[in-house]
Amino acid sequence: MPARERLRLLLDADLSSHGLVRVLEAAGHDILAAGFRDDLKQLDDEILFTFAQQERRVMITHNTADFPDILVAWAQAGRSHHGCILSHVSTSAFGEMERRFERWFGLFPAQQDWLDRAVHL
C-alpha cells in the first residue's frame, strides 16, 4: 500500500490543543493550529476559513453552528474551497477523534480529494 499524502490541515481555535496536534502530526499531517497563533486565534470564522483556503488547508472546526452557513455561502457564490471537517466529538476525546480522522483520511487520502468536500467527524 503506498504511503499517504501529508495533508495540510488548519485547526480552528476551538480545537487547538497540544494533544490533538500530536495525534494529527503523528499521523504524518502538516498542522497549523489557529489557537496557538496570535494573528489567527481571534479571527472571525469567515476570515479564518478564507485564510485556510489561501494556505490550501482543510479546515477542522468544532463550530458546527457557524461553519455550515459559511460553506453554503461559499457554494452559492461559486467559490471553491480546500475542505472542511465539522467535529461533533468532545474536544477531549482524542482516541475517538483519531479513529474518525483515520477513517476520513483513509477514504480521502490526498489533498485534492478534499476540494469542495465537507464532512462531519
Whether pLDDT at 1 is above 50: no
Average pLDDT over residues 105-121: 95
Q: Is the pLDDT of residue 20 over 70?
A: yes
Is 75 in a helix, a strand, or coil?
helix
Give the global pTM.
0.91
Q: Tell me: the pLDDT tens digits for 46-88? A: 999 999 999 999 999 999 889 999 999 999 999 999 999 999 8
> Dihedral, CA atoms, 91, 96, 100, 106, nearest 10 degrees?
120
Q: Which residue has the cell 488548519?
A: 10
Domains of the chain are: 8-120 (3.40.50)
Question: According to the model, what pLDDT value does residue 86 have?
Answer: 95
40: CB partners within 8 A, 6+ apart: 13, 32, 34, 48, 51
All residues at 6 or more sequence positions from 89 whose CB lies less than 8 Å from its CB, including other chains: 96, 97, 100, 121
> For 23-44, how does the pLDDT look when each residue is reduced to its tens digit (9 = 90+)?
899 999 999 999 999 999 889 9
Over 70: is that where the pLDDT of 103 sits?
yes
Residue type, position 18, single letter = H
Q: How far is CA 36 from the centre of its chain?
A: 15
